[in-house]
Chain A
Amino acid sequence: MTEVTTPAPSPVRASESLRSEVEAFLYLEARLLSTAQERLWYTQMLHPEIRYRVCSRQLRSSKSKRYDQPNEVFHFDDDINALDKRVDQIESGIQWRSDPPETLMYIVSNVEAFEDEQGGDVRVYSNVIMIRDRRVYESDQYHYRREDVMRRGDDGALRLLERNVVYGQRMVQGKNLLFFL
């Protein structure tokens, strides 16, 4: 398994205009995902070579060096086709669990952007609190750290090339992660 690492920040902090562009990207994404516009998100915001991963780490002692079994479980490890299927499922009209519709709210914060010295990609860090209200009695909160890479498409607009979500809550309290983080 590939490690999801926290890379050292590139020394090149993005310009204020790039930082605002990135922030606007994340806010637009949050709005599309919380207003049942997943297909628009998919077609207009994702890079065709996207790798979308959500990872939890097994809790181990920092002194335990002699145990070499994998310590990461990937709740998502999706490419563009797998994400397409997930959007299809939401749009199918026969996914009983999402009708009546859920209400999602993403709060995106701590946005930092760095320019990649090599390829013109932008490395973006953010923290997210997502609250999912569904059915009459259910309200669940999910909180996680994102490490994204964005790349410009042919039209010059930023697109999501990598999403690595570090999901710290070892035992997922909100029963599932069946939404886009």
Chain B
Amino acid sequence: MSKFETLVDMRNGTQQKSVFYDRDIYELELERIFARCWLFLTHESAIPNFGDFVTTKMGEDEVIVARQKDGSIKAFINSCQHRGTQVCPAEAGNAKGFVCSYHGWSYGIDGKLENMPFEKELYKCKVDKSKHGLVQARVESYHGFVYGCFDDDAPSLEDYLGEMKWYLDVWMDATGGVELIGPPSRSILNCNWKTPTENFAGDAYHVGWTHAAGLKVMPGPLSVLSGNAVLPPTGAGLQVTTRHGHGVGILYDAGPALMSDMIEEIFAWQARKKPVIEKKLGALRARFYGSHLNSSIFPNNSFLWGTNTFKMWAPRGPGQIEAFTWAIVEKDMPADLKEGITRVMHRTFGTAGMFEADDSDNMETMTHVNRGFVTRKGKMNSQMGLGGDRVDPDLPGVVGDSAIGETSYRGYYRFYQEILNAKTWDDVRANNADWFVPLLGEQTAEEARKAAAA
């Protein structure tokens, strides 16, 4: 058994601290996670017209994402097939194609190699241009959110999102659609890429304590949590983890609680739209619409619905990330409401965000204290609620019945270990029937199977 196969104790909800530090683990993550999973690229609203493009990261790979003539979207690696130079230094724009700044090789908006200067005069050997296009990734969209994947063997984006779609549909679709307001803010954090992702996937526990000061000075429905003065009451929320490690935590009815001077306006907007959503999805999911959702899509894409922040955490080695932050707005909101949400989102969860900076300190130290040899031999604990997770007839995924718990941590790291172990996606698919067993224990899992069969 390799040292990589026992990083996570799925049954007991612990992880080795070395997952935040070890360079060998990181290299395996690049190969088996970032070159294999669906990774967030952009939102369709950022590239509406033929020739529009943005540049972004897939893991550490730099990619160009471009709208094609037929309306489809392609993504390809931003590295010339001649000597490897970046072919596009801009973050966004509209172009007919991309010309390498080194020798002038030029590529079409579809990534195909079109021209090499003095090809006839200088290239004695025949270079087959059709085989020297920029390296392509698969591209698929879900409700306008565009993801890319380097693995042809991976499931479709829809299958990859799986049960998570049921939760995403509430705000991505039933609202009439959303869009991301860019450009993103971009900042460097000296932390491992999993530290913010696990936090957004499943950590309501830290809110009252980490953000004590922000909650205290920004009046709103969650201010009472400041300094852990009170616990959210029983039934205040729940946590969910799904097949491919995606997780969501729901704090009922809290919606825009952190949105400062926009709270009332957003609550009023939601109150007007809620009946429409209830008609489409029923009362339970309409309640999600007005709730606060913290969530991560495995491996490195997070969002807060309610606080309306959308994040991508691009890894830069085991000890550093680049954080990309966009605002989420509903398409049919008036311009001033979109602008207000964007303004307040950056004030709370942007680069100068009054909440964001509290988190980044925690994420950085939990990464770098593992320089210590003895330190990183230790384990991290995510056992809160262990033994209580269950399958629910109405809620897809594995459910933890509390606003605060660590169900989604356990689900995130269960899949993390599974995909690190897997030689191909077939190894992952082989676990489709029983993926939840380590989270539930045999007995509960057996009950879950019976319930599913009935």
The residues of A with any CB-CB pair to B shorter than 8 Å are 1, 54, 56-61, 64, 66-67, 69-78, 81-82, 85-86, 88-89, 92, 94-97, 170-178
Q: Are A69 and B182 in contact (CB under 8 A)?
A: yes
Closest 9 CB pairs of A and B: A64-B93, A58-B183, A95-B213, A88-B217, A172-B187, A66-B94, A177-B352, A67-B94, A92-B213
Given contacts A172-B187, A176-B357, 15 further A-B contacts (CB under 8 A): A59-B89, A60-B90, A66-B51, A66-B94, A69-B182, A74-B346, A75-B346, A82-B261, A85-B217, A94-B227, A96-B212, A96-B213, A96-B358, A172-B351, A178-B357
Within 8 A of A (CB), among B172-208: 181-190
Q: Report chain B residues within 8 Å CB of A61.
A: 90, 93, 95
Complexed CA–CA distance, A68 and B52 (Å): 10
Complexed CA–CA distance, A3 and B61 (Å): 32
Q: Report chain A residues within 8 Å CB of B217.
A: 85, 88-89, 92
Q: Are B358 and A97 in contact (CB under 8 A)?
A: yes
Q: Is B417 an interface residue (CB 8 A)?
A: no
Q: Are B322 and A58 in contact (CB under 8 A)?
A: no
Whose C-beta in chain B lies nearest to the C-beta of A61? B90
Q: Report chain B residues within 8 Å CB of A69.
A: 46, 52, 92, 182-183
Picked from B183, B213, B261, B346, the residue with its CB within 8 Å of the CB of A70 is: B183
Kindly provide the distance from the CB of A177 to the nearest chain B CB, expressed in whole angstroms: 4
18 contacts between A and B (CB under 8 A): A54-B352, A58-B91, A60-B90, A60-B93, A67-B93, A71-B92, A75-B185, A75-B346, A81-B261, A82-B260, A85-B260, A88-B216, A89-B216, A89-B217, A96-B210, A96-B213, A176-B356, A177-B351
Known contacts A92-B216, A96-B361, A171-B322; A73/B187 CB under 8 A:
no
Q: Report chain A residues within 8 Å CB of B227.
A: 94
Kindly provide the distance from the CB of B267 to the nearest chain A CB, expressed in whole angstroms: 19
Known contacts A59-B90, A85-B218, A173-B188; A75/B351 CB under 8 A:
yes
Q: Report chain A residues within 8 Å CB of B379.
A: none
Complexed CA–CA distance, A51 and B214 (Å): 21
Q: Are B182 and A70 in contact (CB under 8 A)?
A: yes
Complexed CA–CA distance, A75 and B347 (Å): 7
Q: Are B339 and A1 in contact (CB under 8 A)?
A: yes
Q: Report chain B residues within 8 Å CB of A56.
A: 183, 185-186
Q: Are A94 and B52 in contact (CB under 8 A)?
A: no
Q: Are B354 and A89 in contact (CB under 8 A)?
A: yes
Complexed CA–CA distance, A79 and B117 (Å): 54
Q: Are B352 and A76 in contact (CB under 8 A)?
A: yes
Complexed CA–CA distance, A54 and B346 (Å): 11
Known contacts A54-B352, A71-B183, A86-B354; A60/B346 CB under 8 A:
no
Kindly provide the distance from the CB of B404 to the nearest chain A CB, expressed in whole angstroms: 19
Q: Report chain A residues within 8 Å CB of B364.
A: 175
Kindly provide the distance from the CB of A92 to the nearest chain B CB, expressed in whole angstroms: 4
Known contacts A89-B217, A92-B213; A175/B343 CB under 8 A:
no
Complexed CA–CA distance, A28 and B210 (Å): 33
Residue in B213, B260, B347, B353 whose Cβ sees the most chain A Cβ within 10 Å: B213
Whose C-beta in chain B lies nearest to the C-beta of A97? B361
Kindly provide the distance from the CB of B52 to the nearest chain A CB, expressed in whole angstroms: 6
Kindly provide the distance from the CB of B51 to the nearest chain A CB, expressed in whole angstroms: 7
Q: Are B352 and A176 in contact (CB under 8 A)?
A: yes
Complexed CA–CA distance, A170 and B184 (Å): 10
Known contacts A60-B91, A88-B217, A175-B187; A77/B358 CB under 8 A:
no
Q: Report chain B residues within 8 Å CB of A81.
A: 261
Q: Report chain A residues within 8 Å CB of B133.
A: none
Q: Are B212 and A94 in contact (CB under 8 A)?
A: yes
Complexed CA–CA distance, A86 and B342 (Å): 18
Within 8 A of A (CB), among B321-344: 322, 339, 342-343
Q: Report chain B residues within 8 Å CB of A73.
A: 182-185, 346, 350
Kindly provide the distance from the CB of B346 to the nearest chain A CB, expressed in whole angstroms: 6
Kindly provide the distance from the CB of B347 to the nearest chain A CB, expressed in whole angstroms: 6
Q: Are B261 and A175 in contact (CB under 8 A)?
A: no
Q: Report chain B residues within 8 Å CB of A89.
A: 213-214, 216-217, 354
Q: Report chain A residues within 8 Å CB of B322.
A: 171
Q: Report chain B residues within 8 Å CB of A94.
A: 212-213, 216, 226-227
Q: Is B360 an interface residue (CB 8 A)?
A: yes
Q: Report chain A residues within 8 Å CB of B360.
A: 175-176
Q: Are A178 and B90 in contact (CB under 8 A)?
A: no
Kindly provide the distance from the CB of A111 to the nearest chain B CB, expressed in whole angstroms: 24
Complexed CA–CA distance, A66 and B52 (Å): 8
Q: Are A172 and B188 in contact (CB under 8 A)?
A: yes
Q: Report chain A residues within 8 Å CB of B347.
A: 76-78, 82
